Structure 1
Amino acid sequence: MEGSTSKPTVGALPDAAAEAPLAPVALTWLMWSLFAASVAALVARVRLGFAPELSGVLAVDGLTVLLWVVVTFFGGVVLSYSRRYMAGSAHETRFFLAVFGFSTVVLALVAADHLALFGLLWLTMGLVMAELIGVVDEWEQARAAAAVARRYFVASGAFLGVALTALWWATGATTISGVAGAAGALGGPIWLVAAGALVLAAMIQSALLPFHGWLLSSMTAPTPASALMHAGFVNAGGVLLLRFAPVVTVDATLMLAVVAVGAASALLGKLLKSVRPDVKSELACSTVGQMGFMIMQAGLGFFGAAITHLVLHGFYKAYQFLGAGGRVERTSPGEKAGHEPDGSGAADVAATLATGLAGGAVFVLLTGKGTSLDGGLLLVLFVVFTTLHAARGAVEHASLPTTVRYGAVPLVFLPAVTVYAFVYRGVSALLADLPVVTAPTELTALHGLVAVAFLVAYAATEAGVHERSRRLYAALLNAGQPASSTVLTNATEYDDGGVQ
C-alpha cells in the first residue's frame, strides 16, 4: 500500500535547550571540567610523578589518576546524553544529581587510603546506584528493583566491612597501604576470613554467579543509568581485588578459586545471553560474562590486565547501551536480537581458529605474556576469547553475508587485540608503583582442568548444543529471569511513568 513504508513517529522529541533546569546544564559542564582536570593529573603523574596525599586518609597513585579520567569521561558522556534523554522528565534534576553524586563518590573511593573511609564510600556508591535504578519511583517495579539492588549492595558492603575489620585486627594497620605492607605476615583463619570476604564483596559488585540477579533486575533504570552501571559500577570488583592484591595473592588455592568463579560466570553470561529476547537484558548477560573474564585475569595474577579489561569493556558497553535504541530499530520483528546467522560449520570453525591463533600470536609478541609455562598462557587464551567474541558481535550486528563475515572478523579482531595489548602495556606501566600488579600463578592440573572445561563448554555453546535440550534451555530462561516484582507488564504503567 502506498505510503506504508513511511517511518512511524510518536511526536517531536523535547528540546533539551528550551527552559532546561539549571542543574543538568551546570552538572554536565562541571563533570567535563573534572575530566579536563583528571587528564591534567594523569599527564602530571606520567611526566612529573604527581602523587599528592593526605597521610592516612587519601593517596593518589597511578590507579587513582587512571580511574579519575575514566570515571569523569563516562560521567560526562552520560550527563551529556541525558540532557536530551531526560528532558521534560519529572525526575530530571534528581537523576542528574544522582549521576554526579555517584561519580563524585567513585572519584573519592579510588583515592581513599583509610580502611574506614574506603568501606564507607564503597557502601555509599552502592546506595547511590540503587537510587538510580529506582529513580522513576512512580513505578512499583522500579521501587522493587531498587530494593533488590540495595539488598545486594548492603551485603557487599557488609562483606567488605568484615574483611577490613579482620585485616585491621591481623595487621594493626588502619590504611590500605599499611595492610599491603604487612600482607607478607598474613595467614591462618583471620586471613582466610578477610580474603574470602573481599572476594565475595567483589563478586556481588561485579554481578558474578550466583549474584547476577540484581543486574538482571535493574532494567527499570533509565538507559543512561544502565550505561553508567555497566561501564563503571560493575568494574568495582576488579578495582577492589587490585587494591587488596597483596592479601588475595597470599595463597594459590584462593587464586585458583577466583579463576574458577570467573570461568563459571563467563560461561553463564554467554549462555544466558543466547536465550534473552530483548536488547537490554542481553547486554546485561554479556556484562556478567565479561566480568567473569575480568575476574579470571585477576585470579591468574594479572591485575593490570584485569584493569585493562574493565576500562576497554567500559567503553564498549557504554557505546552499546547508549546505542541500544538504534539497535532495536535495526532488528526486524520476530528476529532475535544478537542472533548469528548459521555459517557453514567446518568453515566457520576453521576461520575462527585461524583468527584466534593469529590474534594470540600478536598479543604474545606485543606483551611478552604466554612465553612461559605460567598463568600467562591462560591470560592470552582468555584475552583472545573475549576480544574475538566482541569482534564477532560487532560484525554480526552489521548484517553482512556469511562469506564476507569470515573476512570481516579478522579485520576487526586483529586491530582490537593490538589495541588491547598496547593499552595493557600502558596501564601496567602506570600501575607500576602499586604493591602487586603482576603475580603470575604457577600452572597446575586444576588450572588445566578449568581451561579444558571452559573451552569445551564454550565450543558447545557456539555450536548451539544447549538449544537442543529443552530442559537446559528452560533452565537458562529461568536463571536469566529478573525478580518477578521488577517486571513491568502493563504498557499503561510505563506511559504513566514519565520517562521518554
Structure 2
Amino acid sequence: MRLVTDWDLPIFRIDRLNLVMAALIIFVAVNVFSFSRRYLAGDRQYRRHLAGIIFLALSVLGMVFADHLAVMLIAWGISNFLLVRLMIHKSEWRAAWNSGMLAFKTFALGFVLLTIGFGILSEQAGSSSISRILDQAGQFGKPMMTIALALIVLAAVTQSAAWPFHKWLLSSLNSPTPVSALMHAGLVNGGGFLLVRFAPMFQTQPILLHSVFVLGLISAVLGTSWKLIQTDIKRMLACSTLGQMGFMLMQCGMGLFAPAISHLCWHGLFKAYLFLSASSVLEDPKRKAYFGSRSFVTFLLALGLGVPGAFAFLLISGLLNPTLDTRLLLVGLAFMTCCQLAGRVLETGKSLSRILGAAVASIFGGGLYGLSIFLIDVLLEPLHLMTPQPLDVCYVTGFGFIGMIWLFMNLNGIQRFQNTELWKRLYMSALNSSQPSPHTITNVRAQYHY
C-alpha cells in the first residue's frame, strides 16, 4: 500500500472548505474553553481538562488541513483518543469510564475501517495525496475503489453517531457539559467533513449516495422521534444530534454537499449554545415548553404562510431550476421548516398581528437558511460540491415517508392514537431504544465520584 509513502508531497493544504471548517472549530473551541475555565474552576483535573481542549482543537485542525491520507488518519485517531479522555474525566467514576470505553470501541472500529479504506484508495489511485486523488476522481471506476469509499462511509457514520452506531452518543451523557458541547458541536461533524472532503469521488457512485441517504433518513427519523419523548435535557439534545446528523447525511446522499456543510455549521453553533446554556434553562422557572395540540385551522394557516418562506428560500439559495432533481426535496424540507416556524407563532393566537408575525418568521427563516446555502455554495464553488441527483424511487419514497410523519404530527395523530395498543407498543419500543447503555448510568448518588 502507498498510504505511508509520498512524503515528498505537501502534507497540508489550504482551501476554502478547510478554512470554513477551521473557523467553526476555532470559534466553538474558544467558547468552550472560556466556559470550562468557570465551569470546572476548583476541579482537581482542571488544568488537564483545559490542556485537553487545546490539543483536541489542534488535532481536529490537523485533520481538516491534511492533504495526505496518513496525516488525516493519524489526526483522526488522535482526536478521538483525546475526546474519549475528556469524556471520562474522572476514571474512578465507573459509569463515565464505561461511557468512554463504549465510545472508544466505536471509534476504534471506525479507525480500522478508515485505515483499510484509505489503504485501498491509495493503492488504487497510486498516490497518498488527497488533492491528487480528487483531481483524478472522474477516472476511477474500479470495484475496489467502490469498496474503499464504502469503508469511508462507514467510518464517517461511526464518527457522526448515525444509526446503527448511535449508542455511544446516547451513552455519553456522563461527560462534563463543555465536553458534550465540543462533542456534539464539533467531533460528530467529522463524519460529515470526511464525506464532503471526498465528495468528487462519491458523485460518481450513485449506489453509495443512495446508501448514505437511507442511513441518514433512518437516523433523522429515529433521532427526531426519540427527542420528543425524553425527560432528561442532555439525552434530548443527544437524540437531537442524532436527528440532525441524519439530515446532514441525507443532504450528502442527495449530492448536495454544500448545503450539508451549511447544515453542519448551523448545527455546530446552535448545539454548542444549547449545551452551554442548558443549566440556565433548567433554573429559569418562566421557561415552559408548549405541548398543546395544534388546531386544524392553525395548521392550514401555517401551510399557507409556509409558501412565502419556501419561496424566499428558493429565491435566495439560488436553487431555482426547472430540472427535477434532489434540490426539489431540499425545497420541500425548507417548506416544512417554514410551516413549523409559522405554526409556532400562531399557537399563541390568530390575530392579524400574529398572522403577520408568522409570515415574517416564515420568510425570514426561509431566507436566512437559503442565504447560508447560497454563501457556502458560492464560497466552495471551485470544489464542485453541488451535484444534484435525478429524482428516483429511493429519494421520492424517503421524502414521502418524512412528509407522512410530519403530517401525522401536525394533524394531532399522537392525540388521536395514543390510547391504542399499537401506539403504546411503539412508544415503549422508542423509549427503550433511546436509552443509554445500562453500564453508563449512575443509579445512586454514592456511585458518583466527584
**TM-score normalized by structure 2?**
0.90
Which segments of 5 or more consecutive residues in structure 2 lack a partner in the other structure? 1-7
- Deviation for aligned residue 1:56: 3.0
One-letter amino acid of the structure 1 residue matched with residue 324 of structure 2: L
- The one of 463, 475, 482 equivalent to 2:429 is 475
Q: Is structure 2 residue 328 aligned with structure 1 residue 377?
A: yes
Counterpart CA distance in 2 for 1:310 and 1:348 is 31
Partner of 1:184: 138
- The one of 294, 298, 323 equivalent to 1:343 is 294
Q: Write out aligned runs for 1:400-411 (5 A).
A: 401=348, 403=350, 410-411=359-360
Counterpart CA distance in 2 for 1:338 and 1:288 is 21
Partner of 2:31: 77
Cα distance per residue 1:385-411 (max 9 Å; x no partner) = 45766x589x69xx9835588765554
Partner of 1:365: 315
Partner of 1:414: 363
- The one of 241, 252, 272 equivalent to 2:195 is 241
Checking the alignment, whether the CA contact within 8 Å between 1:141 and 1:485 is kept in structure 2 is yes
Cα distance per residue 1:140-196 (max 9 Å; x no partner) = 000000001111111111111121111112111111112112222222421221121
One-letter amino acid of the structure 1 residue matched with residue 297 of structure 2: A
Checking the alignment, whether the CA contact within 8 Å between 2:22 and 2:61 is kept in structure 1 is yes
- Deviation for aligned residue 1:137: 2.1
Q: Write out aligned runs for 1:101-500 (5 A).
A: 101-330=55-284, 340-344=291-295, 346-371=296-321, 372-385=323-336, 391=341, 401=348, 403=350, 410-434=359-383, 436-462=384-410, 463-465=412-414, 467-468=418-419, 469-494=423-448, 496-497=449-450
Cα distance per residue 1:411-431 (max 9 Å; x no partner) = 444323322222222222221
Change (3 A) 1:148 1:427: same
Change (3 A) 1:352 1:489: farther
Counterpart CA distance in 2 for 1:324 and 1:431 is 34
Which segments of 5 or more consecutive residues in structure 1 lack a partner in the other structure? 1-53
Checking the alignment, whether the CA contact within 8 Å between 1:133 and 1:221 is kept in structure 2 is yes
Give SS of 1:275's match. Answer: coil
One-letter amino acid of the structure 2 residue matched with residue 228 of structure 1: L
Structure 1 stretch displaced more, 366-375 or 196-205 = 366-375
Checking the alignment, whether the CA contact within 8 Å between 1:238 and 1:295 is kept in structure 2 is yes
Counterpart CA distance in 2 for 1:106 and 1:351 is 45
Counterpart CA distance in 2 for 1:106 and 1:298 is 21
- Deviation for aligned residue 1:203: 1.1
One-letter amino acid of the structure 2 residue matched with residue 452 of structure 1: G
Aligned length: 434
Checking the alignment, whether the CA contact within 8 Å between 1:259 and 1:297 is kept in structure 2 is yes
- Deviation for aligned residue 1:315: 1.2
Checking the alignment, whether the CA contact within 8 Å between 1:133 and 1:142 is kept in structure 2 is yes
Give SS of 2:385's match. Answer: coil
One-letter amino acid of the structure 1 residue matched with residue 18 of structure 2: T
Give SS of 1:59's match. Answer: coil
Structure 1 stretch displaced more, 425-434 or 150-159 = 425-434
Checking the alignment, whether the CA contact within 8 Å between 1:293 and 1:386 is kept in structure 2 is no
One-letter amino acid of the structure 1 residue matched with residue 19 of structure 2: V
Counterpart CA distance in 1 for 2:132 and 2:125 is 8
Checking the alignment, whether the CA contact within 8 Å between 2:162 and 2:246 is kept in structure 1 is yes
**Identity score, percent:** 33
Q: Write out aligned runs for 1:31-50 (5 A).
A: none
Give SS of 2:117's match. Answer: helix
One-letter amino acid of the structure 2 residue matched with residue 349 of structure 1: F
Checking the alignment, whether the CA contact within 8 Å between 1:308 and 1:427 is kept in structure 2 is yes
Counterpart CA distance in 1 for 2:282 and 2:342 is 19
Cα distance per residue 1:72-115 (max 9 Å; x no partner) = 11111111111111111112111111111111111111110001
Counterpart CA distance in 2 for 1:387 and 1:353 is 9
